[in-house]
Amino acid sequence: MSLIVEKQHDLDRRHFFIDGVWVKPAGDLLRDQVEAATGDVIGVAAMGTEADIDAAVLAARRALDEGPWGKTTAQERAEVLRRFANELNLRSAGTSELVSRENGMPIGLSQMLNGGAPGALLNIYANVIENLALEEVRTSQAGSTIVRREPVGVVGAIAPWNFPQALAMFKIAPALAAGCTVVLKPSPETALDSYVFADAAKAAGLPEGVLNIVLGDRDAGAALVSHPLVDKIAFTGSTAAGRIIGAECGRLIRRCTLELGGKSAAVFLEDGDVNTLLAGLDNASFLNNSQTCTTQSRILIARSRYEEVVEAVGSFAASYNVGNPLDPTVTMGPMATREHLARVMDYIEMAKASSARLVTGGSRPAGADKGWFVEPTVFADVANSDRLAREEVFGPVMALIPFDDDEDAVRMANDSNYGLGGSVWSADEDRALSVARRVRTGTIGLNYYTLDLGAPFGGFKDSGVGRELGPEGINAYLEYKSIYASAKYLSA
């Protein structure tokens, strides 16, 4: 970061979106935004302070308590969400390219998850709120009880850098549908694309203060989490940060949703089909350069098929075309930042120094003197107790581990502090389902792994608290109120 950045860029974002307008930051701290594939500065972004967060929260509070948003019907909100979705869709091509430049995501994937998913989520939650009974009358011993669903209030949404548009909208869409107002604090690593939300919201006619965007670092995030006028925090990020946020929300008796880290297992049974596994590994284990919380970086393999699968997975990993993510023929881009690349390389060097066997990769690609590239890497003969099998690398580094039978596989899959994703690979889908039901994880696939926007997503254990997505995802943004009344309302 730098206090003075002289060069101007077309992508510079030197203001925040607060109360429906672009405002000058309270401070003068600027951050250079670097392209992951080249290491070149492509823009400059202002960094927020506690004062900026305070201004954004006050705007959100006014919009909820005094503005029109708090008085809207479900149908009115659904119409706004659909206009918001349309505006984002109109900007999707530019948004997809910008995110790929920021974090290294292959452009085809970015077009789906940063270009298409945000609008799809807004439309999903427009439909959810239109079809949700926000008030119902129940018979009670004293007459009737009117049960209401009301918005939880002002939501502080803290989004990560790996899927910045989609994961921010995991929070924004259900919050707005429920009638909440939002302060979004994006990750500094993907600062530039976050303001597309502001441009689209303004064009869609979202009332002033309903969506506010302030970029900032951990101090800004801490100010948002602890602000007295925030009613709920929705966070996606590391388990370490989630612990701190969860502790603060507990101290303040504040609602929170935490979608955190993972160390998921792909379980290949002895009757599994290798070609089916290889066809699914791109989503299950290497999605977004493995910078994905559900990455199945532990591949548990039936001992009788072990060497066959080790060889196949190693060859598959070596076949990735590593390069600039804007090239549609590239299948794996760089790590998001120099610092994150260094972290991934530290894990690789640690594994090289252990008893694990390096099957493929393990270095920077030849000639990659610019950008944050690493070879897809596979280690075999890893023990489930090794650090490589216990800790989240958040990069394309796979740990291959043998098991003896189904019971051993379930035990090893569950022998983890995390429980977010997973998969089971077998020619007998009923058998795979039986194994999947015993794995303590929030999501798991049978012979494939693809996230379903229409089903709840979240984790067990250290992988988080609460659920996002699906019709269930709106529940985190609603409060229940019971009004005890006479029997006359039963016939209303």
Q: Give the per-residue pLDDT at 11.
A: 82
Residues of the chain with pLDDT under 50: 1-6
**Residue showing tokens 């799809």:** 120
Say if 6 falls within a structural domain: no
Number of structural domains the chain divides into:
2
Q: Give the per-residue pLDDT at 2.
A: 40
Q: Tell me, yes or no, whether 166 and 303 share the same domain.
A: no
Question: 185: closest CA among 215, 165, 226, 163?
Answer: 215
Catalytic residue among 97, 102, 189, 259: 259
Q: Tell me, yes or no, whether 90 and 171 share the same domain.
A: yes
Q: Tell me, yes or no, whether 173 and 213 share the same domain.
A: yes
Q: Tell me, yes or no, whether 116 and 241 share the same domain.
A: yes
Q: What is the CATH number of the domain that holds 99?
A: 3.40.605.10
Say what the alpha-carbon torsion angle 385, 391, 394, 398 is, to the nearest 10 degrees.
0
447 and 425 in contact (C-beta within 8 Å)?
yes
Rounded to whole angstroms, the Cα distance separating 43 from 240 reads: 29
Q: Tell me, yes or no, whether 168 and 27 share the same domain.
A: yes
Say if 492 falls within a structural domain: no
Q: Tell me, yes or no, whether 272 and 241 share the same domain.
A: no
Say if 199 falls within a structural domain: yes
What proportions of the chain, in percent to the nearest 5, are helix, strand and coil? Answer: 40, 20, 35
DSSP string, 154-193: EEEEE--SSSHHHHHHHHHHHHHHHT-EEEEE--GGGTTG
Q: Give the per-residue pLDDT at 368.
A: 83
Q: Tell me, yes or no, whether 195 and 283 share the same domain.
A: no
Q: What are phi and psi of 334, to 5 degrees?
A: -85, 170
User: What's this model's pTM, rounded to 2 decimal places?
Assistant: 0.96
Q: Tell me, yes or no, whether 153 and 63 share the same domain.
A: yes
Q: Give the per-residue pLDDT at 262.
A: 98
Question: 458: closest CA among 473, 438, 439, 474?
Answer: 473
Q: Tell me, yes or no, whether 85 and 230 share the same domain.
A: yes
Rounded to whole angstroms, the Cα distance separating 380 from 397 reads: 11
Say if 2 falls within a structural domain: no
263 and 300 in contact (C-beta within 8 Å)?
no
Rounded to whole angstroms, the Cα distance separating 17 from 24 reads: 9
224 and 233 in contact (C-beta within 8 Å)?
yes
Rounded to whole angstroms, the Cα distance separating 136 from 48 reads: 43
Burial of 233 (0-12, 13-18, 19+ CB in 10 A): buried
Domain containing 438: what range? 265-452
225 and 216 in contact (C-beta within 8 Å)?
no
Say if 309 falls within a structural domain: yes
Say if 9 falls within a structural domain: no
For residue range 280-323, list pLDDT tens digits in order.
999 999 999 999 999 999 999 999 999 999 999 999 999 999 99
Q: Give the per-residue pLDDT at 369.
A: 85
Q: Tell me, yes or no, whether 363 and 256 share the same domain.
A: no
Q: Give the per-residue pLDDT at 8.
A: 54
Q: Tell me, yes or no, whether 269 and 255 share the same domain.
A: no
Rounded to whole angstroms, the Cα distance separating 443 from 445 reads: 7
Q: Tell me, yes or no, whether 190 and 302 share the same domain.
A: no
Say if 4 falls within a structural domain: no
Say if 7 falls within a structural domain: no
259 is catalytic: yes
Q: What is the CATH number of the domain that holds 285?
A: 3.40.309.10
For residue range 334-371, list pLDDT tens digits in order.
999 999 999 999 999 999 999 999 999 999 999 888 99
**Residue showing tokens 């090239």:** 327
